Amino acid sequence: MQTIVLASRKGGAGKTTLSCHLAVEAERAGAGPVAIIDTDDMAGLSKWWDARKAETPILTRAEPDLSSALDVLHAHGIKTVIIDTPPAMNLSVADTIALADLVLIPVQPSPDDLRAVGATVEMVNAAKKKLVFIINRVKPRVKLTGEAAIALSQHGVVSPIFVWDRIDYAAAKVDGLTAPEVDPHSQAAKEVRELWFYINSRLEMSRD
């Protein structure tokens, strides 16, 4: 079983949107059964799942604690777990990161996001976990995006797949769906497929 944690100190980085999209794509790509766990008090991932009609991925709670919940999922044959975390850097988030096989850090290409990313990186490094930065909500400002990628590369691996600022992602979530489920031929669908393929390749590298 592979456990992926999305973490970011900054709110609005896109953790929840990426969590649900990657969970559905992982299931579609054969990395299932997939489970999602929402550890954010805002419960955005849980609310998305509540609006969903499909039976997969499954939603589980971190009860009686996250480690125990992961043990149960493993015993039931779950192959991939994706965990959404709150925009904070506290002991709870540190404990979650400590259980990850891979930590994904969404970062918007903005000065505020880049300044905020240091605390998350320090926490991941303290736990000695592998990380991948995902440059998210990219707008048509190629220079700023390129500068963000260069800055982040000094602190860890940067996904070569950028996620663009598309209304498709948010619109799909209203009905508990993902952008590829709404339109499998859209650019958003292509991005999600390529992003999961890349993340899965990083997981395979960590298993070797």
pLDDT of residue 89: 82
CA–CA dist 165, 140 (Å, integer): 9
CA–CA dist 35, 148 (Å, integer): 31
pLDDT of residue 208: 58
- The whole-model pTM stands at 0.95
Residues 6+ apart with CB under 8 A from 16: 40, 44, 45, 48, 84
Mean pLDDT by 10 residues, the chain (208 residues): 95 94 97 96 96 96 95 97 93 95 96 91 96 94 85 95 95 97 97 98 81
Check which CATH number belongs to the domain holding 160 and give it: 3.40.50.300
pLDDT of residue 12: 87
Considering its fold, how many domains does the chain have in total?
A: 1
The DSSP secondary-structure symbol of 164 reads B
Phi/psi for 122 (5° steps) reads -60, -40
pLDDT of residue 204: 86
pLDDT of residue 53: 96
Range of the domain at 71: 2-207
